[in-house]
């Protein structure tokens, strides 16, 4: 039986169905209906010749032969739990291949180190996740790689002007190595036009090293409500800790894209040792089975919570993709690029940090914690927590204000979430 089969009796199987067994042969695991945890560091070769052939592939000395399957060697290179998980992750995004990492930041850092070299610039939208900001502004510059930002809500011609400035900032022999996009932006929910950035990247095909890679952090909406590869992105990165893991009990990341694009990233992952572990892979496969159910319920809840907050006298503004002004540029972009508004809400309390902290401290059902995409609802203060290292001037410029509270809506009953917020705001 073909365990990578996606069509049954003429019916193209949906991702929700494929999550139950895609890429897995029970006959290889004593008939176990679920993938076992392959908690092993190394694997036994059938012969010395087989061992040699496997290592030839890992070392990049040759390509896979027709109908050849890469063998199992050592869990830093490959492991059945991770390989099956990677197969299933490709389904939602329509990708050729996927790689799983120990965290979302491990995925982003390994990917950028694979595509950028000293003198290069990474062009990215701001605001962006605090860990990515730190990597681009403080860590990569130590290796001669600079980050150059543009505001995610700029008009197209303004993004083009910033790109020209970024090209001028490249070092000798350097180039624009990548567009590093996060859309919606964390934590403001600003949308970035993926297709427009892909067009801009295509216009740089004649630079040294060719066209820059377009990398999209799809953690806020993916994989259910946004498919960046369909809009021209080369690679999609995830913090699997969030919606895919979904239970706030794992830390992991992934990058997806064309097999050829991921080849150097795979080699870098093996060299750096940034892959995930078998048990985490097994937990993520468990979570993928309920991904659509969880994300759908959380999205429905978020719409109700956002509606309540938007009409509350203590709230100045609510940033939610389901509340975009009809006819606005952002509403048009949302219609072209997204299939749902997600379940993360940016809430601007009337006042400043004191009023925002008062709201957070009075919540009961909604937990005061960072992260998002879990079954439980969480609330945090980005300016004082996840983005605290961002300089004050940059916070003001990109909307990381003291009165901003980020709420990740979970799968509790929406009436109870609204009652908790009503009580906290009273």
Domain with residue 154: its CATH number is 3.40.640.10
Cβ-in-10-Å burial (0-12, 13-18, 19+) of 410 comes to buried
Alpha-carbon radius of gyration of the chain: 22
What pLDDT is attached to residue 389? Answer: 86
Is the pTM of the predicted complex or chain greater than 0.75? yes
Q: What is the 3-state secondary structure (H, E, C) of 63-127?
A: CCCCCCCCCCCECCCCCHHHHHHHHHHHHHHCCCEEEEECCHHHHHHHHHHHHCCCCCEEEEEEC
- Looking only at the bridges linking them, the beta strands covering 404-408 and 378-380 are antiparallel
Q: How far apart are the first and last CA of the chain?
A: 60
Within-domain flag for 24? no
Q: At 385, which CATH number?
A: 3.90.1150.10
Mean pLDDT across the stretch 306-315? 97
Q: Are residues 319 and 406 located together in one domain of the fold?
A: yes
Closest CA to 416 of 317, 343, 308, 315: 308
Mean pLDDT across the stretch 306-326? 96
What pLDDT is attached to residue 233? Answer: 98
- Among residues 256, 288, 320, the one where a domain terminates is 288
| 60 pLDDT more than 90 | no
Within-domain flag for 73? no
Q: Are residues 212 and 249 located together in one domain of the fold?
A: yes
What pLDDT is attached to residue 152? Answer: 83
Q: Are residues 227 and 165 located together in one domain of the fold?
A: yes
Within-domain flag for 60? no
Mean pLDDT across the stretch 209-222? 96
| 298 pLDDT more than 90 | yes
Mean pLDDT across the stretch 356-381? 97
Let me know: does 81 contact 55? Beta carbons within 8 Å: no
- What's the rounded Cα separation, in Å, for the pair 237 and 21? 23
Within-domain flag for 11? no
Q: Are residues 251 and 373 located together in one domain of the fold?
A: no
- Among residues 288, 305, 323, the one where a domain terminates is 288
Q: Are residues 267 and 385 located together in one domain of the fold?
A: no
What pLDDT is attached to residue 71? Answer: 86
| 317 pLDDT more than 90 | yes
**181 is written with which tokens?**
């996009």
Mean pLDDT across the stretch 309-326? 96
CA 50, 54, 57, 63 torsion: positive or negative? Answer: positive
- What's the rounded Cα separation, in Å, for the pair 178 and 58? 26
Task: Write the DSSP assignment of 251-290 as a string of letters.
Answer: --EEEEE-HHHHHHHHHHHHHHT-B--HHHHHHHHHHHTT
Could you give the number of structural domains in the chain? 2
Let me know: does 231 contact 194? Beta carbons within 8 Å: yes
**C-alpha angle with apex 319: 313 to 323, nearest 5 degrees?**
90
Q: How many CA atoms lie within 13 A of 79 on its CB side?
A: 26
- What's the rounded Cα separation, in Å, for the pair 196 and 355? 38
Mean pLDDT of the chain: 95
Range of the domain at 419: 291-425
Within-domain flag for 69? no
What pLDDT is attached to residue 1? Answer: 52
Q: Omega before 219 cis (within 30°)?
A: no
Q: Are residues 260 and 324 located together in one domain of the fold?
A: no
Q: Are residues 253 and 348 located together in one domain of the fold?
A: no
What pLDDT is attached to residue 354? Answer: 97
Neighbours of 161 (CB within 10 A): 13
Read off the pLDDT band of 179 (50, 70, 90). very high
**384 is written with which tokens?**
């004082």
What pLDDT is attached to residue 423? Answer: 97
Q: Are residues 221 and 300 located together in one domain of the fold?
A: no
- What's the rounded Cα separation, in Å, for the pair 38 and 269? 20
Give pLDDT tens digits for 157-178.
999 999 999 999 998 889 999 9
Q: Are residues 387 and 254 located together in one domain of the fold?
A: no
Give pLDDT tens digits for 13-25.
999 999 999 999 9
| 256 pLDDT more than 70 | yes
Q: Are residues 380 and 295 located together in one domain of the fold?
A: yes
Within-domain flag for 364? yes
| 399 pLDDT more than 90 | no
| 12 pLDDT more than 70 | yes
Q: Are residues 298 and 185 located together in one domain of the fold?
A: no
Query: What residues form DSSP beta bridges with 150?
Result: 125
- Among residues 235, 255, 288, the one where a domain terminates is 288
Share of the chain above pLDDT 70, in %: 100
Within-domain flag for 284? yes
**357 is written with which tokens?**
């902290």
| 420 pLDDT more than 80 | yes
Measured CA distances, 386 to 103, 132, 148 (Å)? 16, 11, 20
Bigger pLDDT: 320 vs 222 = 320
Q: Are residues 362 and 295 located together in one domain of the fold?
A: yes
- For 215, the 3-state DSSP assignment is strand
Within-domain flag for 137? yes
């Amino acid at each position: 039986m073909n365990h990578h089969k996606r069509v049954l009796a003429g019916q193209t199987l949906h991702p929700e169905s494929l999550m139950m067994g895609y890429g897995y042969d029970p006959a290889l695991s004593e008939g176990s209906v679920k993938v076992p945890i392959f908690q092993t560091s190394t694997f036994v070769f059938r012969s010395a010749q087989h061992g040699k052939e496997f290592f030839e592939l890992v070392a990049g000395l040759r390509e896979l032969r027709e109908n050849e399957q890469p063998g199992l060697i050592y869990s830093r290179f490959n492991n059945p739990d991770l390989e099956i998980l990677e197969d299933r992750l490709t389904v939602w995004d329509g990708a050729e291949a996927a790689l799983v990492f120990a965290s979302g930041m491990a995925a982003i850092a390994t990917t950028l180190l694979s595509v950028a070299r000293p003198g290069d610039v990474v062009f990215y939208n701001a605001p962006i996740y605090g860990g990515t900001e730190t990597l681009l502004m403080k860590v990569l510059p130590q290796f001669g790689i600079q980050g150059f930002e543009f505001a995610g809500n700029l008009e197209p011609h303004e993004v083009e002007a910033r790109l020209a400035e970024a090209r001028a900032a490249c070092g000798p022999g350097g180039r624009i190595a990548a567009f590093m996009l996060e859309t919606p932006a964390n934590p403001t929910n600003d949308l970035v036009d993926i297709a427009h950035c892909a067009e801009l990247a295509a216009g740089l095909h004649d630079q040294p090293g060719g066209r820059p890679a377009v990398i999209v952090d799809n953690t806020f909406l993916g994989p259910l409500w946004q498919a960046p590869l369909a809009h021209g992105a080369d690679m999609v990165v995830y913090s699997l800790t969030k919606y895919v893991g979904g239970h706030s009990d794992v830390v992991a990341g992934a990058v997806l894209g064309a097999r050829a694009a991921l080849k150097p990233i795979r080699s870098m992952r093996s060299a750096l040792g940034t892959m995930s572990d078998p048990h985490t892979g097994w937990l993520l496969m468990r979570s993928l089975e309920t991904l659509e159910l969880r994300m759908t319920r959380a999205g429905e809840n978020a719409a109700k919570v956002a509606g309540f907050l938007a009409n509350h006298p203590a709230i100045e503004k609510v940033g939610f993709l389901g509340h975009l002004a009809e006819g606005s540029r952002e509403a048009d972009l949302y219609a072209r690029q997204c299939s749902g508004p997600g379940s993360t809400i940016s809430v601007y309390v009337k006042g400043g940090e004191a009023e925002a902290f008062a709201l957070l401290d009075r919540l009961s059902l909604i937990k005061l914690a960072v992260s998002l995409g879990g079954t439980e609802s969480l609330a945090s203060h980005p300016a004082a927590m996840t983005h605290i290292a961002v300089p004050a001037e940059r916070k003001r410029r990109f909307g990381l204000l003291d009165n901003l509270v980020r709420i990740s809506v979970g799968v509790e009953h929406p009436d109870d979430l609204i009652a908790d917020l009503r009580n906290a705001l009273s």
